[in-house]
Amino acid sequence: MNALQVERVTKRYTNHTALDQVSLSVPEKSIFGLLGPNGAGKTTLIRIINQIISLDEGTITIFNERLHENHISVIGYLPEERGLYKKLKVGEQLLYLAQLKGLNRKEAQTRIKAWLQKFDILDWTGKKVEDLSKGMAQKVQFISTVMHEPKLIILDEPFSGFDPVNANLIRDEILELKEKGSTIIFSTHRMETVEELCDHIVLINKSKKILEGPKKEIKNNYKSFTFAVDHIGSFQLNGGNYEMIHQNKVEENTYRSLVRMKSPGNPNDLLKQLIEITEVHSFIEKVPSMNEIFIQLVKGGSDE
């Protein structure tokens, strides 16, 4: 089952189209990366899913149900533009936000206590948010997002503004939530996060989806069959399926070469051939990073 299914969703504003026939599916219990440059339409899509704004065309289904007002309690949303009531105490604040998500008072109080205990910040309950440090406030913010145990968690640039310690804490928490069965959608520019956490990704550029699939598959598809070889002594590669991209002298008599297969083939064959002509010290396939794929696709798009 898909946690979220977006089908041919279009959103138009007076002067531009924010989303143009975007479709995507988020598998249940996965961590899903929603990628794209600024202004691509990510936030618009997220706001539509959260029913903050409406769509012009298309359909959205959540756990096989058409998007409905009751889904508010199923979704936990951490917006990119986020904050808390500065004058309100931590406990009151969390209680209010939980009640707005549909939790009853008693249940909310129990959960708030459990979460504050978990983050070891129970003694902040009576503190006003304006008296907290930024890192403390971020923890409170995160609790407010997941407190009602949403099955679908949408995090828009979750790590922006988090210090490394809190970022790690939140990352562990996200992985734990996934283990417990939640589906998590990330919207981010930070490719290291995507590389590390996401199972599936979709790339949106200029209001259109340009790429979707499991991260592994995408990386395979964008493999250029290029290999970095460290070796002793210079050599030439001519003809056949192999092409020398460049060769650097690293130290005296030690070289690094970048070799590409012209058509997909078995790396062992290449290695065999290399062993015959040089002394190989290392042989590594250059797998493209998400960052490279992202830049390649987005730049390619803007050249049109």
Residue ranges in contact with another protein by CB under 8 A:
13-14, 47, 50-54, 56, 72, 75, 77-79, 81-88, 96-97, 99-101, 144
Percent helix, percent strand, percent coil in the chain, to nearest 5: 35, 30, 30
Comparison of 96 and 225: residue with beta carbon closer to another protein = 96
Q: How many CB atoms are closer than 10 A to CB 213? A: 14
- What is the closest distance, in whole angstroms, from the C-beta atom of residue 77 to another protein in the complex? 4
- What is the closest distance, in whole angstroms, from the C-beta atom of residue 107 to another protein in the complex? 15
Comparison of 48 and 261: residue with beta carbon closer to another protein = 48
- What is the closest distance, in whole angstroms, from the C-beta atom of residue 113 to another protein in the complex? 20
- What is the closest distance, in whole angstroms, from the C-beta atom of residue 33 to another protein in the complex? 20
Comparison of 40 and 259: residue with beta carbon closer to another protein = 40
Query: In sequence order, what are the residues at sequence separation of 6 or more whose Cβ sits closer than 8 angstroms to the Cβ of residue 152?
Result: 3, 4, 26, 62, 63, 74, 75, 76, 182, 183, 184, 185
Strands (E), the chain: 2-12, 17-27, 31-35, 57-62, 65-66, 75-78, 152-156, 183-188, 200-205, 208-214, 226-232, 242-251, 254-261, 279-286
Residue type for position 62? I
Comparison of 83 and 164: residue with beta carbon closer to another protein = 83
- What is the closest distance, in whole angstroms, from the C-beta atom of residue 52 to another protein in the complex? 5
Comparison of 97 and 261: residue with beta carbon closer to another protein = 97
Taking the C-alpha atoms of residue 147 and residue 144, their distance in angstroms, rounded to an integer, is 5
